[in-house]
Amino acid sequence: MNSIFSTTLLLGFLCLASNSVQGSARCRRAVSTCILTPETTEGPYSWNTTLMRQNISEDRPGIPFRLYLTVMNINTCEPIVNAAVEIWHCDALGIYSHYIQASNNVQNPKTDNSTYLRGMQLTNASGVATFDTIYPGWYTGRATHIHVRVHLNGVYVTSTGYYSDGSLVKTGQLFFNDSLTDLVAQQSPYSTHTITRTLNSVDTIYQSSTITLMDIQYVSSAAGLSGGMVTSATLGVSSSSTSSSTTTKASASTTTARTSSTTTVRTSRATTTTQRSQTGGANNSKRPWWQFFG
């Protein structure tokens, strides 16, 4: 099954501020692309019971992170409306909901009913699904990433909270620039993480696919990391692609996406193959979401 994955900016023009990672100041016009690239594995922590919601952070502390995902038809390069986009990732300390014991390396682990950092959204008229979460952590052997799946042609019934009879047409993982994660790793609670981080350059999943790193932006140039971050990516699928049919339990509650002015964060792709450890930093995770995203 083929699909595309390419980074795209939602704003017509974006300016690099003097306090961005590379400290440059310039403007450029955003260009959307439609490029065929391989898929990636969904990983071991998927769970076919996902809440239909925009804010998936629940009680997890971390740097606020907004993610816009556009689903595009690779045959026409047109957005797809009402595609079901599902994401999940670990918390700042590398723990996945529903698999807390397994994430903590417990022998013969049991699953649980926790749901943090998992969610599903239907794409809007522009083909965009919006998620509010935290910047992911990491765990042994894997670089920092977010899991994503796209389902088409399913039925979502608000009265029951179920999305059913959809075809799985996209499975992938979204990756972050190592230079940016170096900065995140100095902030609390990431700085308390005892596991040495694996870089993209030695991550087997990252190396097995042609992947474009996400273009991360500060929500507020003055606040930097503590003010949260935002990014967008395009998930290209073929409307003729099919996989296993899915039935997904979901909550009927949804939230409305809002836009905010952003400052682009530029980071160069890391080339070293060594692993890095982390040092302490300040806690910046306690402010409510509405203060980060207007």
Question: Please, what are the domains in the chain?
Answer: 31-99+112-240 (2.60.130.10)
Confidence of residue 279 (pLDDT cuts 50, 70, 90): very low
What whole-number percentage of the chain has pLDDT above 70? 66
Euclidean distance between CA atoms 182 and 200, whole angstroms: 12
Per-residue pLDDT tens digits for 202-253: 998 888 776 668 889 999 999 999 999 999 999 988 875 544 444 455 443 3
Burial of 28 (0-12, 13-18, 19+ CB in 10 A): exposed
Per-residue pLDDT tens digits for 65-77: 999 999 999 888 8
Under a CB-based contact definition with an 8 Å cutoff, are residues 134 and 91 in contact? yes
For residue 258, give both structure tokens.
């809002």
First to last CA, the chain: 38
Per-residue pLDDT tens digits for 84-100: 999 999 999 999 999 99
Per-residue pLDDT tens digits for 101-148: 999 999 999 999 999 999 999 999 999 999 999 999 999 999 999 999
Euclidean distance between CA atoms 102 and 105, whole angstroms: 5
